[in-house]
Chain A
Amino acid sequence: GENVEQHPSTLSVQEGDSAVIKCTYSDSASNYFPWYKQELGKGPQLIIDIRSNVGEKKDQRIAVTLNKTAKHFSLHITETQPEDSAVYFCAASRDSGGSNYKLTFGKGTLLTVNP
């Protein structure tokens, strides 16, 4: 089955700096890669996703890049703010062609943005 590795497990940055979280996956058939942000006491919130037909996607201060050859994808947050502090999960899935669809999550990155 799919295996997703996520690094780093913790990341501390100063407000205004950039933050980068990286994930690698094992199943070359995976073609959907969402990122979730989970604040303390809340459910995961989808913040951006990318599909294998594109290499980069941006939404204001966040961007995701995908390298299918190397089987890795990354989340980039620019101009970080204290409210960006949360646990971030990457995930991967593939279309099996049937009804079986599962998100395989990375272990998460605790991002702390210091004012």
Chain B
Amino acid sequence: DTEVTQTPKHLVMGMTNKKSLKCEQHMGHRAMYWYKQKAKKPPELMFVYSYEKLSINESVPSRFSPECPNSSLLNLHLHALQPEDSALYLCASSLREGHYEQYFGPGTRLTVT
């Protein structure tokens, strides 16, 4: 089973709202990733968690706040977003951080109004 699940599939939020994206995997992977993907572009790395600790933050604005409560779960908390933050948010996981296959979830399509 190489499944990464993400909820919700779609999310519409206003600029003053607070919402969260959720990602889950049960493959025993200890590295989890958040990517942002705009239309017709490749995914852009936002955050990497390794063994539930934040390993990489790609200079992401503080209105995006990641959290890794346990080895299976990854959240992305959203607050005071801008319309330009509208995108597909992808979660991925791999066995370990490094040269291991990354498996992506289906993504959450976020629209900020």
Q: Determine whether the beta carbon of B104 is less than 8 Å from that of A101.
A: no
Q: Determine whether the beta carbon of A106 is less than 8 Å from that of B104.
A: no
* Interface SS majority for chain A: loop
Contact count A vs B, C-beta below 8 Å: 53
A43 to B102 alpha-carbon distance, docked (Å): 12
Does A29 interact with chain B (Cβ within 8 Å)? no
Which B residues, 25 to 51, have Cβ-Cβ distances below 8 Å to chain A?
A: 40-43, 45, 48, 50
Nearest B residue to A106 via CB reads B42
Does B81 interact with chain A (Cβ within 8 Å)? no
Q: Could you say which of A36, A41, A43, A95 has the most chain B C-beta atoms within 10 Å of its C-beta?
A: A43
Interface size of B by Cβ–Cβ distance < 8 Å?
Answer: 23
Q: Determine whether the beta carbon of A99 is less than 8 Å from that of B97.
A: yes
Nearest A residue to B101 via CB reads A46
A43-B90, A43-B106, A44-B90 known; A101 vs B99 contact (CB < 8 Å): yes
Q: Determine whether the beta carbon of B42 is less than 8 Å from that of A107.
A: yes
Q: Per a CB cutoff under 8 Å, which of B48, B98, B105 touches A43?
A: B105
Q: Determine whether the beta carbon of A103 is less than 8 Å from that of B45.
A: yes
**Shortest CB distance B110–A (Å):** 14
**Shortest CB distance B9–A (Å):** 9
Does A69 interact with chain B (Cβ within 8 Å)? no
A107 to B38 alpha-carbon distance, docked (Å): 12
Which A residues, 31 to 59, have Cβ-Cβ distances below 8 Å to chain B?
A: 31-32, 34, 36, 41-46, 49, 51
Interface pairs (7), CB distance under 8 Å: A36-B104, A41-B106, A43-B90, A45-B104, A101-B97, A103-B45, A107-B42
